[in-house]
Chain A
């Protein structure tokens, strides 16, 4: 089954006695751009942290390209999966190329090789930020910083990239920029899975959307697809009006339910 990148089966997780995830079943297809949506606190970030290996799990299974996650070492995992966490701040004004270079740390233990530098060059070229290479990371705008962090994940040469809210705090220009680049990455044999908040941006760019509600991943019943306003109302607790724009379904939020 190579067409599934990450398969989560019957996963339950909680901090102490507070359950965060309950019986999650979801399979993310390979070489696609998948987006995970849902309300704050629905468990999206926890599911991501578990898939990325930042959080241990006991009940259920998570398979990366067919291999059980909990049995993989940190560096084995780094060969398969790259992860972009939600918040990243740097105190020290490292140059962009040095920040990107740290993405190779799992492969070159004590000092980076020449091939590592070349990979950095390729990654920032691919994302169109070569002109920023010598700038201090701390002086960049939020959108530029996000692209640098994506480049840092890319230099790992992973098969799967997880991004926790990659478009957060970005203006429309950079949202579009980042999503277009992510979409393009899936053409090069990469699986991209992202958490997003804006359903319309997700509908515009994603190949597939997944929704979390009440600690688990929910799928619309056969009759409705996820553009259906009833289903979205169930997920977000907000009334939606659907509109058709250039053959694409868009939603406009209305009053909140209760």
Chain B
């Protein structure tokens, strides 16, 4: 019974959820009958001959909600699978994609682009996200070796440098730009468009598929470097590939939707509670459930209040108590 339920949550939920999410939004005065009319018209292919209401609804769904829901789904899937992969690589359940410095690097890049419009925000966020991971890694290596503690420590320092730099940019920006920067760092999806989706889909897709293919290798890495070498596998190449895939996915997500912190931390924990630690099952669960859950959060964030709550903030407000509740209930003790 439990198995069926988790199976449904992971694999059965996404499609109906995505369809339902198309009907969620702040637009007033739309009732179920309108969606029904739209659905019929869409099936008959005769939207343009139909009433203005159907035409308008079609516009909302096709150009506003559909790209937004799809973008939300791939970002959720990307952050969750990156988190799961990084926790395995670093054998540390406290790690999430932002520990390597990606978020603060990207946030600083985006802030620069907003304050001094020389380059595109997405490009800057991506470039600085990748740069911060490279920095984290190069600081952590000494004598061709790097310990897990060194990597995480170095990530925190790099993060700190970029956060400080971000504050400097905020400090010298005029109020209008400052507002844009602050909004961006809170994470937002209300600028979602087909353009953004098209830019993000390929890199995130590559990242997700790559991590999915490596899911069994991840089990091996999670047991430790010496243990991998002991059974004849050089873990360095596998690790580098997975970190690169996770960085690509995360920095693209941050570029598209701003900073959504903690999401990559707690979704892998939720899926481990559902399907266990074996990454052969946990990785697809991260992808599908990670996507669905962010769509659910986003549905709330745009329908709960008159104004839209930024997704990054709302993820914390909604996700964190839920996670704490599960943590208490399941009594997970990490050694």
- A-to-B contact residues, CB < 8 Å: 52-54, 74-75, 77-79, 82-85, 87-95, 98-99, 101-106, 109-112, 138, 152-153, 156
Contact = CB atoms under 8 A, between A and B. Distances in A.
Interface in B206-256: 213-214, 216-217, 219-220, 222-224, 226-234
Candidate in B213, B219, B223, B228 with the most chain A CB atoms within 10 angstroms: B223
Candidate in A92, A98, A104, A156 with the most chain B CB atoms within 10 angstroms: A92
A91 B230 contact: no
B90 to A, nearest CB: 9
A90 B233 CA distance: 18
Contacts of A95: 276, 278
Contacts of B278: 94-95, 98
A98 to B, nearest CB: 5
Contact of B230 (A79, A112, A138, A153): A153
Nearest to B231: A103
Counting contact residues on chain B (CB < 8 A from A), the size range is 20 to 34
A95 B280 CA distance: 12
A83 B233 CA distance: 12
Given A78-B232, A87-B226, A94-B222, 8 more contacts: A54-B230, A74-B232, A83-B229, A85-B226, A91-B222, A92-B277, A95-B276, A112-B216
B231 A156 contact: yes
Given A94-B277, A111-B280, A74 B233 contact: yes
B91 interface: yes
B268 to A, nearest CB: 10
A91 B334 contact: yes
Given A88-B224, A91-B222, A77 B232 contact: yes
Interface of B: 88, 91-93, 213-214, 216-217, 219-220, 222-224, 226-234, 272, 276-278, 280, 334-335
Contact of B223 (A53, A82, A99, A110): A99
B117 to A, nearest CB: 44
Contacts of B280: 111
Contacts of A78: 231-233
A91 B233 CA distance: 20
B214 A110 contact: yes
Contacts of B233: 74-75, 78, 105-106
A198 to B, nearest CB: 23
A112 B279 CA distance: 13
B219 A102 contact: yes
A153 B227 CA distance: 10
A92 B231 contact: no
A53 B229 contact: yes
A4 B136 CA distance: 47
Given A91-B91, A91-B335, A83 B217 contact: no
Contacts of A83: 229-231
B92 A91 contact: yes
Contacts of B234: 74
A93 B229 CA distance: 21
Contacts of B93: 91-92
A138 B276 contact: no
Given A91-B222, A94-B222, A110-B216, A156 B232 contact: yes
Given A92-B277, A93-B277, A54 B217 contact: no
Nearest to B92: A91
B275 to A, nearest CB: 12
Contact of A102 (B213, B231, B334): B231
B219 A79 contact: no
A90 B231 contact: no
B146 to A, nearest CB: 16
A145 to B, nearest CB: 12
B152 to A, nearest CB: 14
